[in-house]
Chain A
């Protein structure tokens, strides 16, 4: 009994208790803040849509899972007020996670492309907006369009320099190909064409 009492008063026990209390208090504070500052999926989607295409309103389009390429996924698909379509997709895994890309397509052409998330892939710093623009923007959604890590099959020019994050870049390209395949399969060209 006396031994038990003395161990409660010992320095190691006190040190552990201090650490436990700090961890508990931090945990409580962060739980509350996380709840208050949580960014919902809807909020994230609205941010993506605003970044990739300017429109007064967007209407969600149902996704046909049977038309999605193997190994890929379509996260959402929206139609803008002027008929342009915005699609978010992901494909093969890169260095760590699989990149999620958002494309805006208008009149049969890709008019904008952004990376929405890398899903924890931390080797992505070298992928710049200029890479996305030079590779994807302006490409027409004809039947042969397919991107590879060094250029475009079936139309468009080769990009001058690929980013140094090879695996992450291939994940981005895979995501774009999944989106392009789906749009082609469903004949969604964002207006005319």
Chain B
């Protein structure tokens, strides 16, 4: 599998939040501020990459019957590392992410990538998949948080930009609203891109057919 494909899958084509609709709980809960979204994204990237690497390394050792508990134990270990590091060095972020940090253990995205990708691919590909899926997750969360923080509180990174705010965007209902609208925009965008690609492909096929027909006609003329 090419690096470009893994990158495009993780960030765009199989975006975990907007396309696969995975990790929805933290996406809605943590996207109230941009700092929280980036912090949560960094934690998920670390856990995804490390767990994917280890699971890929152990893919031939872990018996398939106990793979899920084994994956959960590996993921929980890395999540605990993140919790310890955040508590020590980023106490404010640790406080504001609260229970959503330990809940990364049961984030569907991480278990899904472990099960669907890391356990059947080589280490390098698994690490890249973890990195780009994590980046896709972080970007999605950041876009949501940008809209919600800006419109809901009039702030960005906690800095007040203006007094105007629409309270609903800071609430859970606003989270669902922004999430739904962004999914719609993402699907519309990806549909438009794939339509363009199909049109290009069809035009290329038509041109190729025309060339073949012209070549055949030319050779028939030569024969005559």
Residues of A at the B interface (CB closer than 8 Å) are 11, 14-16, 18-19, 22-23, 26, 29-30, 33-34, 37-39, 47, 122, 124-125
Contact = CB atoms under 8 A, between A and B. Distances in A.
Nearest to A26: B77
The majority secondary structure among interface residues of chain A is helix
A154 B224 CA distance: 112
9 contacts: A18-B62, A18-B63, A19-B66, A19-B69, A19-B70, A22-B74, A26-B73, A33-B84, A37-B84
Contacts of B62: 18
A11 B84 contact: no
A11 B63 contact: yes
Nearest to A44: B91
A14 to B, nearest CB: 6
A181 B11 CA distance: 55
A23 B73 contact: yes
A125 B84 contact: no
B98 A125 contact: yes
Nearest to A124: B98
Contacts, number: 48
A30 B98 contact: no
B88 A122 contact: no
Q: Which of B29, B61, B63, B80 has the most CB of A within 10 A?
A: B63
B87 interface: yes
A37 B65 contact: no
- Shortest Cβ-Cβ A-B pairs, 3 listed: A26-B77, A15-B63, A37-B84
Contacts of A29: 77, 81
By size class, the interface of chain B is: 20 to 34
B202 interface: no
B87 A37 contact: yes
A33 B81 contact: yes
B85 interface: yes
B81 A30 contact: yes
Contact of A18 (B29, B70, B91): B70
Interface in B53-89: 61-63, 65-66, 69-70, 73-74, 76-77, 80-81, 84-85, 87-88
Contacts of B98: 122, 124-125
Nearest to B98: A125
A43 B88 CA distance: 9
B221 interface: no
Contacts of A15: 63, 65-66
A34 B66 contact: no
B61 A18 contact: yes
Nearest to A25: B77
A172 to B, nearest CB: 15
A39 B61 CA distance: 36
Given A15-B66, A122-B99, A22 B73 contact: yes
Given A26-B76, A37-B87, 10 more contacts: A14-B63, A15-B63, A18-B70, A19-B66, A23-B73, A30-B77, A30-B81, A33-B84, A122-B98, A124-B98
Contact of A37 (B61, B70, B77, B88): B88
A19 B85 contact: no
Contact of A47 (B70, B81, B91): B91
Contacts of B73: 19, 22-23, 26
Contacts of A38: 88
A84 to B, nearest CB: 22
Contacts of A26: 73-74, 76-77
A29 to B, nearest CB: 7
B66 A18 contact: yes
A18 B63 CA distance: 8
A16 B62 CA distance: 10
